[in-house]
C-alpha cells in the first residue's frame, strides 16, 4: 500500500490526447499510484520552466476516480494564459507534468445524495458536471439528474458522444447554431431555467460551474425560480 497525501506532487505522464473542440483537449495522464477522487473535485497541475520558475492551475477531473492509475483533465486553451496554452498546444504523448490532489470537498456529488440534481455548466465549466453526470449514470441512484449546458457554438460542445441526443441533457448554443440544430439557442435565462426546474418532482439540488459572470447570472435565475441558496453549490473558474 502506498501512502501519500493530496499535498504531494506526483509525476504524471501524458498517455493520450483527445481533441474535444477547436480550443479544448482532454488529456489522459498516467499516475504513479491509484487515484481516488469524488465527482466534482479538482486537481492542481504544475509546470516548471528551465530556470526553475513554476506556475500551477486547478483543473477538474473528468470523472470520479476509484483507484485507476490514470487521471483525465479537460483543458481549454485560454487566450494569453500562462498555463493552459502550454498544456493544450505543447504537451505531447510521453511528456510529463506534475499534479497533486484531489481538492475541494464541497462541490462534489456522491451516490448517497438522494435529492434530484440540476447541473448547470457554461463553457469549460461543464467539466466537473461531466464527472457528476457520469458518476450518477454509473451508480444505482434513481434520483433524477439533468444537465443544462451552455456552449458558444456546436463545435465548442464538449463530450459530444455522451451529451448529444441524451434526454437528460439540454444544450443551448449562445453564438450561432447550425440550421438543423434541435436544441436550444441563446443564453440561459430565468424562463429556460423555469422550464427545466418544473420538470423536477421537488426543488433540485443545483450545481453551477463556469466563469464568475455566468455563475452569478445562473444563481440569480435559480433564486428567481424559488431555489434557495442552501440548494445551490457553485464553482467559479475565473
Ligand X SMILES: Cc1cc2nc3c(=O)[nH]c(=O)nc-3n(C[C@H](O)[C@H](O)[C@H](O)COP(=O)(O)OP(=O)(O)OC[C@H]3O[C@@H](n4cnc5c(N)ncnc54)[C@H](O)[C@@H]3O)c2cc1C
Residues binding ligand X (CB under 6 A): 42, 57-60, 74-76, 78-84, 124, 127, 235, 237-238
- Closest residue to ligand X, judged by C-beta, is 81
Residue 162 contact partner, candidates other proteins, ligand X, none, CB within 5 to 8 A by sort of partner:
none
Residue closer to other proteins by CB (options 86, 194) is 86
Measuring CA to CA, how many Å separate 51 from each of 14, 48, 69? 23, 8, 30
Look up cell 498516467; give the residue. 30
Task: Determine the Cα–Cα distance for residues 151 and 123; give it in Å rounded to an integer.
Answer: 5
> Between 61 and 177, whose beta carbon lies closer to ligand X?
61
Minimum distance of ligand X from residue 23's CB (angstroms): 9
DSSP state of 185: E
| 88-103 burial: b if 16+ Cβ within 10 Å, else e | beebeeeeebbbbbbe
Residues near other proteins (CB under 8 A)? 1-7, 11, 33-34, 36, 47-51, 53-58, 67, 82-83, 86, 90, 95-98, 103-107, 212, 216, 219-220, 222-223, 229, 232-234, 236, 238
Q: For residues 58 and 231, which CB has a smaller minimum distance to ligand X in the complex? A: 58
Find cell 455548466 and name the residue.
121
60: partner contacted, choices ligand X, other proteins, none (Cβ within 5-8 A by kind): ligand X
The alpha carbon of residue 104 and the mean position of all alpha carbons in its chain are separated, in whole angstroms, by 13
Amino acid at each position: 500500500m502506498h501512502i501519500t497525501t493530496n499535498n504531494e506532487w506526483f509525476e504524471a505522464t501524458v498517455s493520450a490526447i483527445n481533441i474535444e473542440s477547436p480550443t479544448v483537449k482532454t488529456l489522459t495522464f498516467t499516475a504513479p499510484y491509484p487515484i481516488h477522487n469524488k465527482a466534482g473535485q479538482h486537481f492542481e497541475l504544475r509546470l516548471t520552466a528551465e530556470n526553475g520558475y513554476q506556475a500551477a492551475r486547478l483543473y477538474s477531473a473528468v470523472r470520479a476516480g476509484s483507484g485507476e492509475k490514470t487521471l483525465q483533465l479537460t483543458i481549454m486553451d485560454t487566450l494569453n494564459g500562462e498555463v493552459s496554452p502550454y498544456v493544450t498546444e505543447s504537451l505531447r504523448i510521453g511528456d510529463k507534468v506534475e499534479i497533486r490532489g484531489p481538492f475541494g470537498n464541497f462541490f462534489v456529488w456522491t451516490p448517497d445524495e438522494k435529492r434530484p440534481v440540476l447541473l448547470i455548466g457554461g463553457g469549460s465549466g461543464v467539466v466537473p458536471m461531466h464527472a457528476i453526470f457520469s458518476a450518477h449514470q454509473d451508480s444505482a441512484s434513481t434520483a433524477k439528474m439533468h444537465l443544462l449546458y451552455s456552449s458558444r457554438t456546436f463545435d465548442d460542445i464538449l463530450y459530444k458522444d455522451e451529451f448529444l441526443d441524451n434526454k437528460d441533457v439540454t444544450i443551448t448554443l449562445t453564438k450561432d447554431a447550425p440550421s438543423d440544430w434541435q436544441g436550444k439557442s441563446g443564453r440561459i435565462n430565468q424562463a429556460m431555467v423555469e422550464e427545466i426546474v418544473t420538470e423536477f418532482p421537488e426543488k433540485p439540488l443545483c450545481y453551477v460551474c463556469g466563469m464568475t459572470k455566468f455563475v452569478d447570472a445562473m444563481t440569480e435565475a435559480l433564486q428567481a425560480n424559488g431555489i434557495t441558496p442552501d440548494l445551490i453549490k457553485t464553482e467559479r473558474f475565473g
